[in-house]
Structure 1
């Protein structure tokens, strides 16, 4: 009798879910325009590898460089004037918003990237004390991880019996994960006693961010909220992934307390000086791991993909380094020399122009507004600015916008910065990325660690990059490469 009752209840629950989903689907088809129909049916995927490429196509064909996806109530823009309006001129009218916070709340909690107002300002001020200026100590930390973690792994792969093949995206995620934990939290995650390896934790973090991002793509929050309440499908997997991520966070806090913390030691120490709220500290850690690991790993992955497709750029990077150190026997550039590597700086910026780690970012309008291009914005509308599309707009970068040309960033051989609202890869205005300089320094150190020592070849050299739906640009199926050691003096 009990088993029959359980079966009946399960059948009823399943039927209810199906009814709700069908009801929502019928309601969401209120717009019959071609764009909304293509989004709802995924017809765009027959012509484009990535959703971002489809959005880019729509924005390129819009006279105002702005479009509206009715079923998502989302206004998307690639217009630099609009970006400046959203991120600076009328900043207070475009916060992250409760809708955004709700989607990522289970993973990010009340961390800096999921809050507005005083909570955001407090965490930003605290983080600026650690990230405001890139010091030689930060450089030494990166160099230590490159020399003692990254390069030994690469040499092991190159000399291994598996043909020297490795997923470079996975390598960069593991590297940046370990580095950010050392730099911001003062801990070596390899020393933590965990129920599973650090590599497994990194995978779980990937899963948590990917599943959280899928919520944002849903045409109605009711759909994922229903699945979360009933603990079904991807919501069940997300809950488990977050639970395991929290195991790491608890160990980090626990170890930090055992080791003790002193004022100004690292970012986590700064926060622990002012609060012992475990939930808040957990949110701080998760948010900064996301920022420090995923964005850097994403930027490095696309950079090396471009380099392997443009050997002439790789050669110029190596030549620039050789000329800088021609009279000195050194394997790495010094902290001071990093500032003189103008071509490398240009190549990194150019790679992120085409493949920004954060492909798009959204805000929600507090009040009715009008964008500089004349687009009317209703209260509560989702506003998305699109760095990925902006990097491919002829109106912004010229007819060669789709080409990988580091030279566009140089004037008489010297790197020149661009208008941040034209190039909002690090955001701009009041929310400009605090970790920008640290990210660039970390990337340069990794590049100069790998290129002189290893020759990398793509396992699959055809086609464009394909991305998974995620909070940061995640290459689908990773980036498998063949790693070979370079002979001395070869480029």
Structure 2
């Protein structure tokens, strides 16, 4: 049965008053640049100011959050639908740890995203989530991380990324560095998680049809998730028209790609007749969960986590350090001081200043700017906000990185030093982190990101490998790129750069 959850007759009956309310609101709209909580109208809610800010939704919500005393407000959408947004660390700790049981993804969340994410770990609660987390966790022990950085990442860096950058520097060609980093991350996650090398970062930069399709699916499912009038997408899905028809076709293509990987792995395991492979996909297929649709969900979730987050963080990082040459100099100094006789894993882990610079980049431009839960029961947040059963509540890492009371009056500055202390005796930097509820870029509590350490190892290895030999120079300078977000953030229009080799004899 089609789940519309809104009678068509009722929909038609509200059109005339809705049009009248739109006309009335247009005569006295809320300012699209206002940081005040937007005005709300009966039935209509704050739809007009929401529409006005749809291209900068993340920034607009952040502006409001950082302007209200408790860093929390309720956005009223049409037909009485409400969503709470918060940048209050105490509220985040309440949701993600102390009252974790009361803030699952929720049925509305899961139902909305199921067509794309299925029952994968990003769209799961309860026992299903616990099982997936337990199986996946084996991939993130020290032995696996060491193998990841010393074989997979290092090979991709030396044999693919560096030659591409060398060629671009010699030919003075323009690269979309965002695309290059996504290809790099995609090859990495497929190799480590599935034992499959898609070879997207070959020198020819082959057509990345799957990546384009995956991005389109992400954009369409994000439009559905952020819909202000949810019953409209449900009607479109039932009729198979418009964006919902596009989504169905695109998701089928994504899932067919994932199933191809699964079939190859099944054949490989059958021929070996034993679990010689240690990748995540082999573990799932050997755990008794042979349902292809479920394992497909797992593959898609790993691609989403491994490709988009690290590439987004690195894209903004390279743009920031170009605009802060003092920071780049400190990173280069750290790279120069690295002990080349150490194993790559130990060498990368010792990059304290680079680690701080990456944290600072993600404070300003988090790969996942907003994360949403749903209240299982009525509750009261630490700041006094009432939460009704079934209410969606979103914590906002993008806004949390801009709270002056937390980060100081210079919060807008890119300053890695805010994460460091100088050890007087050793004359070395010591990293000083923030608690994960103040800085929830990798989530926090029981659902804290399993791949956090893997992400840092990969990013630091890329930074060292690239900056040791090259300077990444944006084509467009003195203009901040547009921060765009579906589920993960991107630079709108890509990150066009020229690559310059460091002067011979001065490279590190």
User: Same-fold call, TM > 0.5?
Assistant: yes
Unmatched runs of 5 consecutive residues or more in structure 2: 1-7, 31-37, 423-428
Q: Secondary structure in 1 aligned to 2:357?
A: helix
Q: Are residues 1:402 and 2:412 paired?
A: yes
RMSD of aligned residue pairs (Cα, Å): 2.8
1:101-112 equivalences under 5 Å are 101-112=110-121
1:199-278 equivalences under 5 Å are 199-260=208-269, 262=275, 265-274=278-287, 275-278=289-292
Distance of 1:342 and 1:469 partners within structure 2: 29
State the 1:23 CA deviation.
Answer: 7.2
Tell me: CA distance 1:368–1:143, structure 2 relative to 1, closer, same or farther (3 Å).
Answer: same
State the 1:445 CA deviation.
Answer: 0.8
Query: Counterpart of 2:454?
Result: 438
Unmatched runs of 5 consecutive residues or more in structure 1: 1-14
1:296 to 280, 303, 310: 310
Query: Counterpart of 2:34?
Result: none
Task: Give runs of ≥4 in structure 1 deviating > 3 Å.
Answer: 18-34, 36-39, 42-46
Distance of 1:220 and 1:168 partners within structure 2: 36
State the 1:198 CA deviation.
Answer: 5.8
Q: Are residues 1:80 and 2:89 paired?
A: yes
Query: Counterpart of 2:344?
Result: 334
1:361 to 371, 396, 407: 371
Contact 1:50 1:466 in 2 (8 A): no
Query: Counterpart of 1:147?
Result: 158
Give TM-score scaled by structure 1 length.
0.89
Q: Are residues 1:382 and 2:396 paired?
A: no
Tell me: CA distance 1:256–1:264, structure 2 relative to 1, closer, same or farther (3 Å).
Answer: closer
Tell me: CA distance 1:170–1:333, structure 2 relative to 1, closer, same or farther (3 Å).
Answer: farther
1:313-352 equivalences under 5 Å are 313-325=327-339, 328=340, 334-352=344-362
State the 1:482 CA deviation.
Answer: 1.4
Contact 2:266 2:285 in 1 (8 A): no
State the 1:50 CA deviation.
Answer: 2.3
Query: Counterpart of 1:466?
Result: 482
State the 1:88 CA deviation.
Answer: 0.3
Q: Secondary structure in 1 aligned to 2:440?
A: coil
1:77-226 equivalences under 5 Å are 77-133=86-142, 135-140=145-150, 141-160=152-171, 163-190=172-199, 199-226=208-235
1:299-347 CA-to-partner distances (Å, cap 9, x unmatched) read 111111111211211111011110224xx5x7x9721122221100100
Larger displacement relative to structure 2 (297-306 or 28-37): 28-37
Query: Counterpart of 1:423?
Result: 439
Q: Secondary structure in 1 aligned to 2:499?
A: strand
Contact 1:180 1:293 in 2 (8 A): yes
Distance of 2:199 and 2:405 partners within structure 1: 48
Contact 1:44 1:54 in 2 (8 A): no
Contact 1:177 1:289 in 2 (8 A): yes
Contact 2:349 2:457 in 1 (8 A): no
Q: Are residues 1:69 and 2:75 paired?
A: yes
Tell me: CA distance 1:400–1:249, structure 2 relative to 1, closer, same or farther (3 Å).
Answer: same
Q: Secondary structure in 2 aligned to 1:362?
A: strand
Contact 1:45 1:51 in 2 (8 A): no
Distance of 2:475 and 2:492 partners within structure 1: 14
Larger displacement relative to structure 2 (429-438 or 458-467): 458-467
Distance of 1:463 and 1:159 partners within structure 2: 26
Distance of 2:403 and 2:169 partners within structure 1: 39
State the 1:391 CA deviation.
Answer: 0.2
Contact 1:78 1:385 in 2 (8 A): yes
Q: Are residues 1:40 and 2:36 paired?
A: no
Contact 1:83 1:421 in 2 (8 A): yes
Query: Counterpart of 1:53?
Result: 59
Aligned residues: 465
Larger displacement relative to structure 2 (264-273 or 227-236): 227-236
Distance of 1:173 and 1:23 partners within structure 2: 47
Contact 1:131 1:438 in 2 (8 A): yes
Query: Counterpart of 2:35?
Result: none
Tell me: CA distance 1:219–1:314, structure 2 relative to 1, closer, same or farther (3 Å).
Answer: same
Q: Secondary structure in 2 aligned to 1:50?
A: helix
State the 1:31 CA deviation.
Answer: 12
Contact 1:132 1:435 in 2 (8 A): no
1:93-121 CA-to-partner distances (Å, cap 9, x unmatched) read 00001111122111100000001000001
